[in-house]
Structure 1
Amino acid sequence: MEDKTIHPNDKAEAMASENYEIYKREVIRLVFPRIFRESNEANTKAKLAAGAKKVGRLPEIRDVVAFYFYLLSYVNGQAYKESGEPNEKYGACFVSYKRIAEDLCMAKDRIKYLADVLEANGLIIRSVHYYEGTKRYKLYYPSWGPRVSDDGYLVSPDGEKIVPDPSVYLPRRD
């Protein structure tokens, strides 16, 4: 019998095309559920510490998943510009705040909060301000999460778990 990999459903067709991306399953299976739990715990503790008798509705965090995969979907994959110079946007999501807000149907001020959550959890490696003439952009360099612990934390190249400060999950008042 021939050694041929068989893929479920239409995965083989997707892989044969050039318009698909990979992701590590542990990110959706372990990392995001942990983020949801930690967010709920941090916000519950904050409400109770503030004297609330009932916890009530907690801030929404699940849209962080759509935001993360949106960033991955728009990573600049061109290492060099047409001139042959290195491309400083290589590896960064290059979409404007306005477009992200429109595409994901969220307020522009929500983007910074979600980016901070992803960065604190290691799912954004770094973010930088980028200028083209007088236009200012925010570039996000997302991680594909190559190393994930059994309890849902990203692991740095040095072997350390990336554990966020729980305050990153609290609503902003700025």
Structure 2
Amino acid sequence: MAPLEQCLVTVTAQYNQRSSTDTSTIINRHINTHINTHINTHINTHINTHINTHINTHINTHINTHINTHINTHINTHINTHINTHINTHINTHINTHINTHINTHINTHINTHINTHINTHINTHINTHINTHINTHINTHGSAHYTSYQNKNPSTTITSPLALRLNEDANFHYGE
């Protein structure tokens, strides 16, 4: 049975059971009940909508805050990791460059010192050998001539050292025999 038919049946039954003076009361009561039901339904719907909207807004805000916090934490962690990696790479590169420069300078100084010492030793040895050879050749050559001259003048004296002979000859030359 449709709601309107049910309403009429109810009103008719109540009407048949009451006196004519109660008819308007019964009808008004029924109408008021219907109106109140409609109003209450409308109010409740409006209130529920408002409450649900408020609750949903609050829940969504809370959820969004939680999600955003989680996302931001994740993003910040990722960004910080990337930045720290970049900074550490830059710092390590700078430190390694500085260390390598220092080490290379130290090694090069040591190598150059060693090479220079070795070269100087070699050069000095070569120069000294050359000078000594030249001096000895000169002394021996000059001394031999003095030796021969001295031996010719002093046959009884024997001088075996060319340098001693040279010094002796120089003394004889300057101071006489």
> Would you call these one fold, judging by a TM-score over 0.5?
no
Greater RCO (Cα-Cα under 8 Å, separation 6 or more): 1
TM-score grouping bracket, smaller chain normalisation:
under 0.3
The structure where strand makes up a greater share of residues is 1
The structure where helix makes up a greater share of residues is 2
Look at both structures and tell me which one has the larger radius of gyration over its CA atoms.
Answer: 2
TM-score (norm 1): 0.20
